[in-house]
Amino acid sequence: APAVKNFTLNFTITNLQFTADLEKPSSRRFKSTEKVMYHYIDPLLQKSSIGPHFSGCRVTGFRSGKSRDDTKVDAVCSYKDNASLARFDRAKLHQELSTMTNNVTKLGHYSLDRNSLYVDG
């Protein structure tokens, strides 16, 4: 069976106010925001070059950003590493995600800090 490999995905949302309850994985706000992230992130990764091998993401946390309207999102995503996937190319994936988020400015109804996207970084 192909090995499952993980990579990190980090970005900052500039129009999601960070509150203390976003730090608590058991809180309702954490859970609902996490669901929204999956709703937006998973389809992008499914459309990317790792799409056929992509197996999902898990939000590992939300952190306070530079201003109180900024929320940093940390996620760990997985894919199945096998022969038909040439190799995991983080630069290529970063470029694809940049393009799909309008140069790292839009994720659904969220605005992104255009310098905040890191793929396995």
How many whole angstroms separate alpha carbon 101 and alpha carbon 96? 9
Counted domains in the chain? 1
Q: What is the CATH number of the domain that holds 80?
A: 3.30.70.960
Return the pLDDT at 86. 67
At 53-88, the pLDDT tens digits run: 999 999 999 999 988 889 999 999 999 987 666 678
| Tokens 């709703």 -> residue | 39
Mean pLDDT of the chain, nearest integer: 94
Give backbone dihedrals phi and psi of 5, rounded to 5 degrees, phi first: -115, 150
Q: Domain range for residue 116?
A: 3-120
